[in-house]
Amino acid sequence: KEVLTKLAKEKWSNIKIADRVIDTEGASNNHHEWVIIGVLYKEMKLRQSVLDDFKGSGTGMGTEASDMATNITSSDDILILEDDSGRIAVNGGDILKTEHIVTGVVLALKGRVDSQGVLQVSDYLSYDACYSNSQLSNTKNGEDNYIMLVSGLGMGKPRSPEEMVAANDPGDVELSRQMLLDWLSGRIGDENEVKKSSLVSRLIIAGDSIDVPAIDSNAISLTYGPSRTKLEKEHQLKCSNIIKRFDAYLAMGLASLPIDVMPGKTDPAVQNLPQQPLHPCLLPVSSRFSSLSLVTNPYDCRIGESSTGCRVIGHSGQPVSDIVRQTDFSTLNNDSMATEDKSPSETAAAAAHSSLQALKMTLQWGHIAPTAPDTLPCYPLTDSDPFIMPSVSSKENDKASLTDDNNTPHILFAGNQPCFASELIEKASYRTLLLCIPSFRETGTAVLVNIRTLEASTINFQIDSDDDDDNAVAMEI
């Protein structure tokens, strides 16, 4: 709020800024404009009540699963701006579309309060107006320097042919994963590819690396005594073997380059955001390598010099997936075709567009996970918010510039998205590359980023299932 207040004073110097939302009560007879800063709440008619989880005979798991897979935005949704003093209804019109907003966004809104006590928005200001980042200086003699990002390795039990068809599995995922390490170590590819792989300085694994099978709760509930203990031990053994395979896989890759491992939705970690790193005792072999970093989700790092290197911020995809199910960005793409009328390629393109727009909005809003804790589980934090984009250190000084610090990420990524998408945001004071990293298990695709130029490309490692040769391998760059 402090940053937005300063920005609003600079942009709308002749308009009064309300100290509290409640100060605008009774202003419907006035015709002057206000600037009000607060948190937006989106009331969604299709959102299920938390009490629905306790209805019926189960624990609500089926309801939760269906809710997470269904878009819950509608034309009946309304926006409300609130702070600790009160709330006011908001009509954003075409300027601030309700279908593009989620709960938890902090904005400065300019407008008039009508006779119904509704704020009619004429303009708004978001947090990204304070961003800045310096020119990258993390390469020597102008040489290229790459990082690779991959998510959704899905190390788990083999799927049946029926499950692979239902999940659109690309083929032999084990071979695809091995090809990824072989490429990074320079064992496959032509001379140019070997040279490029030698310039990769880090691999970031953005969650969902371990696909532990769920225990059969029905069988457990109907089994007692030694038989139940046997089922539980068999499940524990399966989970242990999967984690051991991932541990061995990491150890092979760590011989070639440093690897950062983030937890994700399917990994053996507490699901509340920010997710804490995987415990080293789960990975006894690979954790001996100094080149392994077990990191949090979201993750913030800098490649190169500590102050001027490439700043990378990202998460394993939960915040973007949650925003997508509460918004509708199809109007931004002039896409009015019904979902059932789309071809698979058109559906994938629409999904990529929605994920990229959601990621772009989090950059604009200055908050990585605005829907937490409303619809995303997170730790109860009272003193600070770890999801806010790095803010300027000079906010206490009213006369200081709001864009004098290197506080903005050069790369902002979201893992485990339906397919790859990228966009380079270029403003006067900052440049940021947005990346949607696809699930490797579903697509066989890894993302390569040149941190000197902020150019992104994809490398596809997978079995070519359409080829007559059963052992044919497709590696597309």
Q: For residue 322, with 0-12 CB atoms within 10 Å meaning exposed, 13-18 middle and 19 or more buried, which class applies?
A: buried
Instruction: Give the tens place of pLDDT for each residue, 128-141.
Output: 988 888 766 545 55
Q: For residue 323, with 0-12 CB atoms within 10 Å meaning exposed, 13-18 middle and 19 or more buried, which class applies?
A: buried
Contacting residues for 21 by C-beta, under 8 A, at least 6 apart: 36, 38, 81, 82, 83, 85, 86, 87, 88
Task: Please compute, for residue 411, the number of CA atoms within 13 A of its CA located in the half-sphere on the CB side.
Answer: 34
Residue environment code for 389-416, b if the CB has 16+ CB neighbours within 10 A, otherwise e: bbbbeeeeeeeeebbebbbbbbbbbbbb
Contact 83, 25 (CB under 8 A): no
Instruction: Give the tens place of pLDDT for each residue, 251-302.
Output: 999 999 999 999 999 999 999 999 999 999 999 999 999 999 999 999 999 8
pLDDT of residue 55: 58
For the sheet containing 259-262, what is the strand order? 292-294, 259-262, 200-206, 146-150, 445-450, 455-463, 473-476
Instruction: Give the tens place of pLDDT for each residue, 319-352.
Output: 999 999 999 988 775 554 445 566 666 777 888 8
pLDDT of residue 64: 44
Integer Cα distance of 265 and 209 in angstroms: 9
Tell me the residue type at 18: A
Tell whether the model's pLDDT for residue 246 goes beyond 80: yes
pLDDT of residue 164: 56
Integer Cα distance of 473 and 477 in angstroms: 13
Contacting residues for 201 by C-beta, under 8 A, at least 6 apart: 145, 146, 147, 257, 258, 303
Residue ranges in 369-455 assigned as alpha helix (H): 440-443
3-class state of residue 110 by DSSP: strand
Q: Indicate the helix (H) or strand (E) that contains 164.
A: helix 161-166
What is the percent of the chain where pLDDT is above 70? 77
pLDDT of residue 205: 97
Sole residue written with tokens 């380059």: 257
For residue 231, name the pLDDT band (cuts at 50, 70, 90).
confident
Integer Cα distance of 262 and 277 in angstroms: 7
Query: How large is the average pLDDT for residues 304-322?
Result: 88
Q: Which of 306, 332, 341, 368 is nearest to 102 (CA)?
A: 368
| Cβ atoms < 10 Å from Cβ of 157 | 13
- Lowest mean pLDDT segment, chosen from 116-125, 340-349, 465-474: 465-474
pLDDT of residue 402: 52
Tell whether the model's pLDDT for residue 204 goes beyond 80: yes
For residue 26, name the pLDDT band (cuts at 50, 70, 90).
low
* Angle, CA 274 vertex, CA 270 and CA 278 arms, to 5°: 45
- Lowest mean pLDDT segment, chosen from 186-200, 224-238, 450-464: 224-238
Between 449 and 159, the more confident residue is: 449
3-class state of residue 351 by DSSP: helix
Phi, psi of 361 (to 5 degrees): -70, -35
Query: How large is the average pLDDT for residues 43-53?
Result: 77
Query: How large is the average pLDDT for residues 143-149?
Result: 92
For residue 22, name the pLDDT band (cuts at 50, 70, 90).
confident
Tell whether the model's pLDDT for residue 125 goes beyond 70: yes
Tell whether the model's pLDDT for residue 91 goes beyond 70: yes
Instruction: Using alpha carbons, list the distances in angstroms from residue 283 to 209, 243, 294, 438, 441.
Output: 13, 7, 10, 25, 21
Contact 46, 73 (CB under 8 A): yes
pLDDT of residue 61: 41
For residue 144, name the pLDDT band (cuts at 50, 70, 90).
confident
Phi, psi of 106 (to 5 degrees): -100, 120
Tell whether the model's pLDDT for residue 60 goes beyond 50: no
